[in-house]
Amino acid sequence: MNRRPRSISRRALAIGTASLVVAGTVGAGVSFAGPEHKPQSKRATKTQIAGLFDTWNSTLRTGDPEKVADLYADNAVLLPTVSNKIRTDHAGIVDYFEHFLANKPVGKKLTTIVTVLDNNSAIDTGIYQFTLTDPKTKAKSVVKARYSYEYEKQADGDWKIVNHHSSKMPEG
């Protein structure tokens, strides 16, 4: 029995198969350097990022704390204006807005500075004020505060708040 031809044919088959795999892989545009590179999404504009506040502010006017909390990422951190408690999950953010929305807040930016960090993250910082209405007396008051919103673009393309800090102005 002659094994030599069979041995040669296995070797030829292995070489031929490897050649096809390499040729097919290179032809398909995939290299051996690593996984396929996905192009980054288009860079946001400062106007687009500043407009995210308008969405947030109009969502406050719905009076629905769940809708407001849905604007925050699952792992967001909220350091709220009128509470000393840090909120680090959806339930905590909903809880804060249940109380805050009772005052029918209407926000207005006074100063805004937007920094687009990259295609998927940006920061909006500045000063805003809220006109609040006491639910019992209907008396109005204004709270002026410093703010920062850190936004990240999610896999579905939506921008979500990942960090929101708001604190009353120290001088009043």
- pLDDT tens sequence across 134-167: 999 999 999 999 999 999 999 999 999 999 999 9
* Three-state secondary structure call for residue 144: strand
| Residue 7 vs residue 41, higher pLDDT | 41
Q: H/E element holding 105?
A: none
Extract the tokens encoding 141.
């008051």
Q: Looking at this protein, which amino acid is placed at residue 53?
A: F
Q: Looking at this protein, which amino acid is placed at residue 91?
A: A
Average pLDDT of the chain, as a whole number: 83
What does the alpha-carbon distance between residue 114 and residue 134 come to, in Å, rounded to a whole number?
32
CA–chain centroid gap for 73, Å, is 6
* Three-state secondary structure call for residue 81: coil
